[in-house]
Structure 1
Amino acid sequence: YPLGRVIGQTLYPGLMTTSAVFHGILNFFGICVNVRNVCVFMAPVFSAFTAIAAFLLTKEVTGRPEAGLFSALFLGICPSYLSRSVAGSYDNEAVAIFALTNTFYVFVKAVNTGSMLWSMLAAVAYFYMVASWGGYVFITNTVSIYVFALLVLG
């Protein structure tokens, strides 16, 4: 039997869906660009979104905007992240790191405010994370440990 990979367990549709949505939005607003160019610039665009999400997450956790700026700065100069956010790097990490950071931000915001709206946004962000990257188990485990710690500590 030929070896290979199980496509259903290793292919995540979040990246392709995101590219198609961005392509559709650009064409809707009259910016005619082909899908290839959308795919080429997906990683740099999402690295900017990730910097914004890192700023918002750190600001929400610390309450200090300057801490958020430092967080975005450190993310912007991190060599391991720079290698995944260059133009032409069309891989899951392009949207996965943004989805991870955004999911944590929306979850923390939902916990801090107790708002049903933020809770629903956290569920949507988590769904996007699951659709984009196999590392979604990190979020599942982190949230589970957080809830368990709350139960134990009262």
Structure 2
Amino acid sequence: MIMYSEAKTVKEKIISGIKGFGKIRLKTDHSSILTYTALTLILFLAFTIRLFPMRWEIDPATGKSNLLLSEFDPYFQYRFTEHIVKEGFISWIGWIDYQRWYPQGFNIARAAYPGLPLTAALLYGIISTLGVDIDLMSFCALFPAIMAILASLAIYFLGKDVGGRPVGLLSALILALHPSYIQRTSVGFFDDETIGILAMILFIFLFLRAVEENRHINSTIKYAIASGLALGYFCAGWGAAYYPIGVTVLFTFILLLLKRYNLKIL
């Protein structure tokens, strides 16, 4: 009798939980729905427009598309990534590449930027563990288009912080359709810019949040650390990282001259 009563109680709790779950509703308004729909379309456009080079890689005999890399630098990045995938994440530190520079050899640890190969190797290892069947060459070819989606999403949040949702959507659309950025993130262009632009946007976004006047000190510290990590990732992935560093220093210096600074900047 006691067991029957306990079973009945458990059953009632389960039924009550299911009914409560059914009452959950996402609190959204028409403006939010339109914004998220527009953002989704922009991200979809950013990805699909970068797949256009695949039409030149279709094998006439089979009708299938073979994903390959374009230009010369992406093949070096591919070899770098392949070396990490096969030999381990710290194997590149002592690697002298004689295929890139002969006979002296090319010291990878001193002269190359490991950010892109390490990122690609990590993501490739994750999707391989999850059971996704894709070869490394195809993954590296698709990698730039995937990073373009993330960069467009990141700049939406940056624009939203600066001027609201309309500015965020416009920023994402401009980046998604920017000719120079399309060229550098199309299928096959596996080079430093793919992670560099994303890292730069993240750094600016986090830095501006860190210096907001009304933000609590604990939140400021978290954003400051995160912006520093984003900048460090940027420096590890692309030589152009010196430019945002200089701009940030100039920005801070101008604020000091105009006396529009606060203790968070100092």
* TM-score normalised by length of structure 2: 0.53
Residue 224 (structure 2) pairs with residue 123 (structure 1): no
Which residue identity lines up with residue 170 of structure 2 in the other structure?
A: F
Aligned to 2:207: 107
Aligned to 1:137: 242
Of residues 6, 15, 37, the one that matches 2:138 is 37
Tell me the distance in 2 between the aligned counterparts of 1:7 and 1:21. Answer: 18
Tell me the distance in 2 between the aligned counterparts of 1:110 and 1:137. Answer: 20
Which residue identity lines up with residue 161 of structure 2 in the other structure?
A: E
Q: Which has the larger radius of gyration?
A: 2
Which residue identity lines up with residue 127 of structure 1 in the other structure?
A: G
Which residue identity lines up with residue 121 of structure 1 in the other structure?
A: A
Tell me the distance in 1 between the aligned counterparts of 2:240 and 2:107. Answer: 17
Which residue identity lines up with residue 27 of structure 1 in the other structure?
A: S
* TM-score normalised by length of structure 1: 0.89
Question: How far off is 1:127 after superposition?
Answer: 0.8
Question: How far off is 1:4 after superposition?
Answer: 9.3
- Tell me: CA distance 1:26–1:6, structure 2 relative to 1, closer, same or farther (3 Å): closer
Aligned to 2:173: 73
Tell me the distance in 1 between the aligned counterparts of 2:106 and 2:243. Answer: 23
Query: CA RMSD, aligned part only?
Result: 2.0
Contact 1:13 1:131 in 2 (8 A): yes
Residue 124 (structure 2) pairs with residue 23 (structure 1): yes
Tell me the distance in 1 between the aligned counterparts of 2:249 and 2:105. Answer: 33
**Higher normalized contact order (CA 8 Å, seq sep 6+, divided by chain length):** 1
Give 3-state SS (helix, strand or coil) of 1:87's partner: coil
Aligned to 2:190: 90
Tell me the distance in 2 between the aligned counterparts of 1:25 and 1:43. Answer: 17
More divergent stretch after superposition (110-119 vs 134-143): 110-119
Corresponding pairs, count: 152
Matches within 5 A, 1:41-52: 41-52=142-153
More divergent stretch after superposition (109-118 vs 75-84): 109-118
Q: Which has the higher helix share?
A: 1
Question: How far off is 1:5 after superposition?
Answer: 7.6
Contact 1:61 1:108 in 2 (8 A): no
Tell me the distance in 2 between the aligned counterparts of 1:41 and 1:108. Answer: 31
Give 3-state SS (helix, strand or coil) of 1:38's partner: helix
Give 3-state SS (helix, strand or coil) of 1:135's partner: helix
Aligned to 2:115: 14
Give 3-state SS (helix, strand or coil) of 1:88's partner: coil
Tell me the distance in 1 between the aligned counterparts of 2:130 and 2:225. Answer: 29
Aligned to 2:251: 146
Moved >3 Å (runs of 4+): 2-10
Deviations 1:39-76 (A, max 9, x none): 111100000011011111111122x1111001111111
